[in-house]
Structure 1
Amino acid sequence: MSPVKYNFIFLYLIPLLLFFSCQKKEKTYIETVALNDVQLTKAKPGDWRYSRDEPFQTFEDFQKLDKIKPEPGKNTIYLQPIGEFNELQKKEIERTRDYLSTYFQLSTKVLPVLPNTIFPKMARRIFKDGQEQILAGYVLENILIKRKPKDGVVLMGITEKDLFPRPEWNYVFGQASYKDGVGVTSMYRFSNGNLSESNFNESLERLIKISSHEIGHMFGISHCLNANCVMNGTNSLSETDFHFARACSLCQQKLNSTLRYDQKKRLTALKHFFEKQHLNAELSRTEQDLNLLK
């Protein structure tokens, strides 16, 4: 080939190379919503992170775990109410079902209520404040594991009684056996044992945070050290209230790698839930994520 032809080809290629080099690589969904992650504040005495040195779980760490995951014929989340629930408490459980179905993008069903008589005397105690408490481990091992439906990937118990994990502990919001895919949480502390119309939304927000947190653990996600996130560890109601119901970008990446849902469809459904329930702070955060995707 003559030098003239070589020059012609070279001059032709330069604009093409410049064109492709100037094209920005399109950001992934996770890279996009990461812009809305809020950095964790320094832990204070009494906070979960203050006295614990937990390892940071990377996405690669998460992928290596042997964890439960939905599969054909075993892909439903079940809620098991245990206790004597009034109409407002029943409404809170139904709203929680709606939320978990949206958050995890999995079919979520409420099982028939079990009575408090299912708890034997050895699994009960009267706390110093006067309320009856139930041993959380008994609920997991002697009730939930034995009753988990065959098509259930997760079974989450919800009690109206307060819970305690062992004699030396005052109380616990929830407890789970991650390898068995069962957990339990109590509604009691979320409304100080007295759910009303005035504190309904506050109690509901706490319940959806704790239940989605525990189920997130069942799917292999450790306590989050990446950003303010529903998967942050919590020691108190004030710490629970401070944490977002929103999963940070890293925890969303972990969750979606297992559940494989449509990210934008999920965000849109979450927006509708928060809008309907007037949970305005979470609605705003969801809208901010959606705005980044436009």
Structure 2
Amino acid sequence: MKYNIPFIIALIILISSCSSQHEEHLRPVSKVEQKRAAMIYDSLSNLHYALPAPQKGDWLEAHPEKAESFQDYVEKWPQTKTAKRTKLYLVKLSPFMATQQVIFDKTMTYLSLFYDTEVDTFTLNIDYENIPEKFFRKNDLQEIQVLTDFFLKKELLKALPDDAWGLIGCTAVDIFPDPKWNFVFGQASLSNRVGVWSMRRLGDIENYPETKNRAFMRNLKVASHETGHMISMKHCVYYDCLMNGSAHILENDAKPPYLCPVCLAKADWNRNFDLHDRFDQLFTFWNENQYDIYHQYYEIVKEVAIK
């Protein structure tokens, strides 16, 4: 029998490379971490409502999804921070109007608190008039609408900094994930550390300034939801939770801007939170932005959360 020596060598290198990539993100779960996850659940679960049965047109009615437990999550090699990957990046993908820039800046502040991370920002100058034809179409208002793959598989992946545990882009341009879909609020990769969201469907602030607070909340939810996907969290089907899927804007409005105890345990294991400090910071954020309901939520949570 003849052996193709160069092929065998190449195969060994490929296998070794794949193994090392897995090992880079695989962090065995200790008994202490398992106990911490259980304590998060035990201390906070009675503050959260079980996710109700989906109504016609809701995300889960159209996209039935399996539950992902804490154990499921940690066993699938989720994307995590490393010694080199320490920052979250927010990227401007289009020019913003003044009120959109305010929302973008507040979102950056919020994500830094929510994921307990250093956040940096930069701009990618996208020539929307000259995007390859396969990556765009016109929406129902005859506006340019960009396929999310253009950002997720080309522009953002190419721009991903070496020190990024995640990179999420924001655009004022409408986006869609597939020719069968009308639009999407945002999308992220579970494995490539990149995501994108669009302000286009989240409120016309310039013409209707009275909707500013609603648009602000919607953007925070979409951005923090997609960032959750960037650390490999799937949609939540356990409780009312930030990580619930949203098929329409009313479903987005209905979900809370916080994580349920199952998803919080995942994010805590991934990001290694100081939970009390995180809750204190979010308590202050919602108080300063005059959202009493979430200010009160964190006032309760920080009293019962584990140390």
Q: What's the TM-score bracket when you normalise by the shorter of the two chains? A: 0.7 to 0.9
> Is the contact made by 1:83 and 1:116 (CA closer than 8 Å) also made in structure 2?
no
Aligned to 1:188, the other structure's residue is in SS state: coil
The 5 Å alignment of 1:131-210 reads: 131-192=143-204, 194=206, 197-210=209-222
* Corresponding letter in the other structure for 1:277: N
How is 1:105-120 mapped onto 2 (pairs within 5 angstroms)? Answer: 105-117=116-128, 120=131
Match of 1:89 in 2: 100
In 2, Cα distance between the equivalents of 1:281 and 1:195? 27
Indicate the residue corresponding to 1:274 in structure 2. Answer: 286
Structure of higher CA gyration radius: 1
Unaligned runs of 5+ in 2: 1-37
- Conserved? CA contact 1:246–1:285, under 8 Å: no
2:304 corresponds to: 292
Per-residue deviation, residues 229-286 of structure 1 (Å, max 9, x unmatched):
0011110110001001110011111110111111011011011111112223322222
What does the per-residue CA deviation read over 1:25-75, in whole Å, with 9 as the maximum and x for residues that have no partner? xx9344212221112122110111123331111111111011210111211
Decide whether the 8 Å contact of 2:40 with 2:265 is kept in 1: no
CA distance in 1, matches of 2:78, 2:40: 24
2:47 is matched by which residue type in structure 1?
A: N
Aligned-residue RMSD, C-alpha: 1.9
When structure 1 is superposed on structure 2, of 87-96 and 184-193 the one drifting more is 184-193
Per-residue Cα deviation, 1:49-103 (whole angstroms, up to 9, x for no partner): 1233311111111110112101112111001111121121111111000000000
For the 8 Å contact 1:56–1:224, the answer to whether it is kept is: yes
The amino acid of 2:137's aligned partner reads R
Q: More deviation in 139-148 or 110-119?
A: 110-119
Distance 2:73 2:305 in 1: 26
Q: Displacement, 1:193?
A: 7.2
The SS at the match of 1:267 is helix
CA pair 113-142 structure 1, distance change in 2 beyond 3 A: closer
Helix, strand or coil at the partner of 1:77: strand
> 1:153 is paired with a residue of what secondary structure?
strand
Distance 2:202 2:271 in 1: 29
Per-residue CA deviations over 1:139-198 (Å, capped at 9, x if unaligned) read 111200000111011010100001012223211111122211001100110014747542
Inter-partner Cα distance in structure 2 for 1:167 and 1:242: 27
- Contact 1:153 / 1:181 at 8 angstroms: preserved in 2? yes
2:44 to 33, 36, 53: 33
Q: 1:119 to 1:173 in 2, by over 3 A?
A: farther
User: 1:268 aligns to what SS in structure 2?
Assistant: helix
2-structure distance, mates of 1:178, 1:112 = 23
In structure 1, the gaps of 5 or more residues are 1-26
Looking at structure 1, the residues matched to 106 and 258 of structure 2 have their Cα atoms a distance apart, in angstroms, of 17
Counterpart Cα distance in 2 of 1:128 and 1:245: 30
The alignment's TM-score, normalised by the length of structure 2, stands at 0.82
1:135 Cα shift?
Answer: 1.4
TM-score, L = length of structure 1:
0.85
User: Retained in 1: the 8 A contact 2:205–2:211?
Assistant: no
Equivalent position amino acid for 1:150 in 2: D
Name 1:52's counterpart in structure 2: 63
State which drifts further: 89-98 or 214-223: 214-223
How many angstroms apart in 2 are the aligned matches of 1:166 and 1:121?
16
Measure, in 2, the Cα distance between the counterparts of 1:124 and 1:193. Answer: 25
Q: Which amino acid aligns with 2:251?
A: E
Look up the equivalent residue of 2:145 and give its one-letter code: Q
Distance 2:95 2:208 in 1: 16
Q: Indicate yes or no: 2:86 matched with 1:72.
A: no
Same amino acid, percent of matched pairs:
26
What amino acid is the match of 1:74?
A: R
